[in-house]
Amino acid sequence: MRFEIEIRVTPREGIVDPEGQTIGQALGNLGYSGVHHVKAGRLVRFELDADDTDQARSSVDRMCKELIANPVIERYEVQIRSPETGSP
Amino acid sequence: MKIGIVRFPGSNCDQDCHRAVDEGVGAEAVYLWHKSHDLEGCRAILLPGGFSYGDHLRAGAIARFSPIMREVIAFARDGGPVLGICNGFQILCEAGLLPGALVRNDSLRFRSYPVRVRVEQADTPFTSEYEEGDVLRMPIAHGEGQYVADRSAIEALESERRVIFRYVDELGQPTEEANPNGSARNIAGICDEGRRVVGLMPHPERVVSNLLGADGLGVFHSLIGSVRATGDGTATQALEAGDGPAAQAPETPATQAAEAAEASAP
C-alpha cells in the first residue's frame, strides 16, 4: 500500500526561531498589526510503500529521529494518509 | 605520525587545518575525502569548519552520514582523538559523539570577529599544553553557534568537567556581553565522556602564526604531544571495529537524545 506522508518540523519551545521572528517583523513593517508568536518550520512530504498504517508510522518515526528532525532542538508531527481511502 | 583532515563538500577551513598541522607544529597532515572508508593510519582526526553539504536540513546533519564518518565514529569510540571545529563541532553533535546541538545565534546574525575563550580543562588531547584559566584570542565565524542542550545534559557537562572552552571578557569572566551567540553557560567547546572527542566553535587553526596571533597553536601542540604519548595502532583498531557493532553507532545516540528530549519536555 502506498501512503502519503507529511512531516512538520518546528523548533522546540525555548529554541530560537529566527525565521518566525523575521516573518513577524516583516509583517509588522508591511502594516499588518496584531500578528503575534510567528513560528516557522519545515514541511517534508513524500510517498511511502508499507504494509499498513502502523508499519508506515513506525518507519516514519525512525526516519524523523535519525535524520529529518533533531529531537534535541526540534519537534515533529507526522500525518499519514492512504490515497485509497483518503483518510488515516 | 599522520593527522587526518576530513574534506566534505563545502568544507572551507581544511587548508587552514592542514597548515596548522604541518607548518604550525611540523607534523604530517593528510586530507581524507568524505567518500573514503579509510583513515589511512591517521593518529588523530580533524573535522574542519565550513558549510558541509550546504548546511541543508541542519548544519552537519548530512555530513554525519558520509561514508568516512562511519570510520571516524568507530575511531572515536575506540579512544582516538577527534577535534571538530565550527561546522566540525556541529557534525560531532549531529553524529551523537557530543551532546546537545548548535542553533542560530541569538542575534540572528552571522558573527565573524575575534573573541576570548578561557581554557576550562587542560586534560584533553587538545588542551594539555595550556593551563586551566588561560584566556585565548581566537576568531569565530558562524551563523549557527548557539550551544543548546536540555538542562540535565548541561548539568552533566558541568559536573563531569566537560566544558572545555568558555567565552569570556577581557577580565576572563564569562559575562553575557562576552557571549557572541547566546550559548548556554557561555559554552564555546565541550568534550565527550572519554575526553578524547572535542568540539569548539572558535577557530584555533586561524591563529597559528606570529602575524595573526598564535593562541591556537597550543591546540595542535597538545594533540601531537598526546598522540606521541599514547603509542601506536589506534587507527588500525578502529578500522577493524568499523565492521562490528560500532558501525551502527549513529543510531544509538540519536535514540538516546530523543528519549532525553522527551523526558525533559515542558
Parse chain B into domains and list their residue ranges: 2-252
A60: closest CA of chain B, how far (Å): 14
Which of helix, strand or coil describes residue B246?
helix
Query: Which residue on chain A is closest to B105 by alpha carbon?
Result: A16
Q: pLDDT grade, residue A84 (50/70/90)? A: low
Query: Which residue on chain B is closest to A71 by alpha carbon?
Result: B258
Residue tagged 552520514 (cell numbers): B65
Q: Write out chain A residues lying below 8 Å of B111, CB-based.
A: none
CB contact under 8 A, B103 and A15: yes
Q: What is the ipTM of this complex?
A: 0.79
Cα distance between residue A36 and residue B4, in whole Å: 49
Q: Write out chain A residues lying below 8 Å of B60, CB-based.
A: none
Domain annotation covers residue A76: yes
Q: Choose among B176, B146, B59: nearest CA to A15.
A: B146
Cα distance between residue A37 and residue A25, in whole Å: 11
Residue A59: pLDDT above 60? yes
pTM, full prediction: 0.84
Residue B250: pLDDT above 60? no
The percentage of chain B sitting over the pLDDT mark of 90, rounded to a whole number, equals 80
Asked if A21 has any chain B CB less than 8 Å from its own CB, the reply is yes
Q: Choose among B142, B266, B147: nearest CA to A12.
A: B266
Residue B5: pLDDT above 50? yes
Which residue range forms the structural domain that includes residue A55? 2-81
Q: Write out chain B residues lying below 8 Å of A22, CB-based.
A: 108
Nearest to B104 among A18, A65, A71 (CB): A18
CB contact under 8 A, A71 and B257: yes
Catalytic-residue membership of B93: no
Catalytic-residue membership of B203: yes
Per the prediction, chain B carries an average pLDDT of: 89
Q: Mind listing the pLDDT tens digit for each residue in B127-172?
A: 999 999 999 999 999 999 999 999 999 999 999 999 999 999 999 9
Q: What is the CATH number of the domain that holds A58?
A: 3.30.1280.10
Report, as an integer, the average pLDDT of B224-239.
68
> Cell digits for B211?
602575524
The catalytic position among B18, B34, B142, B203 is B203
Nearest to B258 among A16, A21, A71 (CB): A71
Q: How many CB atoms lie within 10 A of CB B151?
A: 9
- How far, CA to CA in Å, does B120 sit from each of A52, B172, B183? 53, 11, 16
Amino acid at the residue B247:
A
CB contact under 8 A, A73 and B103: yes
Name the domain count of chain A.
1
Q: What's the length of chain A?
A: 88
Output phi, psi for B254, to 5 deg: -65, -40
Q: Looking at the domain covering B2-252, what would its CATH class be?
A: alpha beta
Q: Are A71 and A8 in contact (CB under 8 A)?
A: no
Size of interface A-B (CB pairs under 8 A): 50
Domain annotation covers residue A33: yes
Q: How many CB atoms lie within 10 A of CB B235?
A: 22
Q: How many CB atoms lie within 10 A of CB B197?
A: 28
Q: Write out chain B residues lying below 8 Å of A70, CB-based.
A: 58, 61, 94, 101, 257
Domain annotation covers residue A73: yes
